[in-house]
Amino acid sequence: MKSATEYLWFNTTHEREFINITEKVADIVKQSTIMEGFVLVSAMHITAGVYVNDAESGLIADIEEWLEKLAPYRPDYRHHATGEMNGDAHLKSLLIHHEVMVPITQGRLDFGPWQQIYYAEFDGQRKKRVIVKALGE
């Protein structure tokens, strides 16, 4: 079995952003020369996430609104007693989750219709990273 590991780095300009990373992941898979296997894409920070869904701006706005309803910014999170004011970002990350696995078939990401990989940032404006690890033959 072969493996290939790369890191994607982000320093977002906004506190919350949704970034389509599909092409970057596809390029890593292509460079790995793995023909059959899986690729793991995982946010390495507890206030970010990675998900697979449609690359449609209305849906992205709906996701952001849904997350804000389920985990709104509030000043009274107990986490804020630590000196950080990002309790909602931790909860949003739990809702989105921190990683996805995508099959590699014939050397390419094997998606269903419209599927794309997104990095979701909930506490941005500082340097963060995502690990991309392809495994297979």
pLDDT digits (tens, 9 = 90+) for 85-112: 999 999 999 999 999 999 999 999 999 9
Residues forming beta bridges with residue 36, ordered by sequence position = 105
3-state secondary structure of 64: helix
Spans of the chain below 50 pLDDT: none
Residues in the chain: 137
Note the CATH number of domain 2-136.
Answer: 2.60.120.460
Helix-strand-coil percent breakdown of the chain, rounded to 5?
A: 30, 40, 30
What's residue 17's pLDDT? 96
Contact 4, 32 (CB under 8 A): yes
What's residue 52's pLDDT? 98
